[in-house]
Every structure is written in C-alpha cells, then in structure tokens.
Amino acid sequence: MFSRFVPFPLFFLTPYRLPLTCLRSLAPLGIAGTAQRSIPTPYRRATLDPARLIADNAGRMSQATRADIERAIRNVPDFPKPGIQFKDITPVLSDGRLLEATIQLLIDGHRHQGVDKVVGIDARGFIFGAAAAVKLGAGFVPIRKKGKLPWNTHEQSYDLEYGSATVAIHVDAVKPGERVLLMDDLLATGGTAAAAVQLLEKLGAQIVGVNFVIELGFLDGRKRLNGYPVDALVRY
Ligand code: AMP
C-alpha cells in the first residue's frame, strides 16, 4: 500500500510534480500564471483589458497626422528604373506611431460598415490590409501576382507601360455578397487596383471602399475605379 505522504526527496520524482513542471515550461509563452505575474503592471492592463487598449490606440492615433505620414515617405529618384520617383513607405512602417496612425486613418469611415474581408494587393498592400483586418475584426484576403497562390484561382490581366501583368485570387476567398475593403500602398495609373476590383466583382463581392496610403493624382488612376469609393491618405 502507498502511504498518503511522499517522503520529501522522492517528491521531485513523483507524478505530483509533473503538472507543476508542465506549467512552468509554458511560462515563456505567457500561458501559465507565473508568466502573467512577471509582466510589469501597465503592460498587463493594456494586454488584458480590451476597453483600455482601444482607448490607448485612439489616444496615440491623434498624435500623428497625415502630414506626419507624408513627411516620413521617402522619395527615391530613378528606382526601379530611370524616370520613376519611387515612394518608399518603409520609414512609415518602421515608426510605430506612424504605422498605427496610418492603419487607423485607413479604416476611418469603415468601422461601422460591417466589413467582412479586407483584401490586400501584392505585396505592400498585405502589410496595411492585414493590420486593418485585425482592427476591423475582419478576415484578410491576398490578391497575388500570377503563379503564387496554391489553390484554384481567378486571374485578371492588365496593361503596363511595357507589356502586361496578371493578378490572381483564390476562387473561394470571398463569398458572394460579402462586404470588402480593398487596400494597396499606392495608386498610380490604377491598372493594378482596377484588375483587383474585377476579380472581386467576379466573386460577387460588395466593395465598400478602395483605400491607398498614397495617390499619384497626376496619373489620374481614380478614373479607372469610377463608381467605387476611393480614398488616399497622402496625395501628390
Ligand atoms: P498602378 O497599377 O500603375 O496604379 O501601380 C500601382 C502599383 O505599383 C502599386 O502596387 C504600387 O506598389 C506600385 N507603384 C507604382 N508606382 C509606384 C511608385 N512611384 N512608388 C512606389 N510604388 C509604386
């Protein structure tokens, strides 16, 4: 018969100890109670109290403006080829305050529209689109360059200055009637966004907005998105 009491040295070898050891190994993942206790108080409140998190985000957003975002965008002449002035958004991405303001401004006006999916265009549209989807409580869908998506796709080609390009979407990425917010980093001639819109129409999506961080207004890309609500945070 086993005694109800385990001698002290044997305690470390018994099954009594096992659950405790498992819990400790989960601590670095923030799952076990011990990890929660080690987090400094202000962080703990921000992570655990959703109401406070929203208030913090709103407060911080008001500190950065469209003008701040515009100032941070870097102009890179002659990239990727001579004559193109590339709008480099990486300084916006690397600044937490500007990144958050950008996402908040992109979703402004769409918070109460019941957006089901945010669709981002390959590749920088993924960054803003995915973050916006999380904030809106929506799903995220990528529109990719041809040949990158693994499942069955619809494809749409469009003209470039020299040649053409093709974008694709999974056939089951958006259900008919779902409310979709389309996003990319930059609107230039509008060819890419117009092709994305055509793909979404093919799936029966209801497009509630087409949003960009930057619009090169002098290229008049908007006219190719006629009839859709288009918005951009910074215009050149
Ligand atoms: P477009 O189809 O002409 O409207 O081109 C839009 C796409 O090309 C976007 O996905 C942008 O990321 C990219 N793009 C076009 N022009 C520029 C530019 N001057 N700077 C940065 N990205 C650009």
**CB distance 144 to 192 below 8 Å:** no
Q: What is the pLDDT of residue 161?
A: 78
Closest CA to 234 of 218, 214, 210, 208: 214
Q: What is the pLDDT of residue 45?
A: 40
**Ligand 1 pocket, mutate which of 73, 192, 211, 224 (most atoms under 8 A from CB):** 192
Q: What is the mean pLDDT of residues 39-52?
A: 41
Q: Could you list the active site residues?
A: 124, 161
**Ligand 1 pocket, mutate which of 186, 197, 223 (most atoms under 8 A from CB):** 186
Domains and their CATH numbers in the chain = 12-43 (no CATH), 103-235 (3.40.50.2020)
**Proportion of the chain above pLDDT 70, given as a percent:** 74
Ligand 1 atom, smallest distance to 191 CA:
2
191 Cα: distance to centroid of ligand 1 (angstroms): 9
pLDDT band at 57 (very low <50, low <70, confident <90, very high): low
Is pLDDT above 50 for 200?
A: yes
Q: Name the closest-CA residue to atom 5, ligand 1.
A: 188
* Average pLDDT of the chain, as a whole number: 84
Peptide bond into 123 cis (omega under 30): yes
Q: Is 129 in the pocket of ligand 1 (CB under 6 A)?
A: no
Q: What is the pLDDT of residue 58?
A: 55
Q: Name the closest-CA residue to atom 17, ligand 1.
A: 86
Phi, psi (degrees; rounded to nearest 5) at 140:
-120, 140
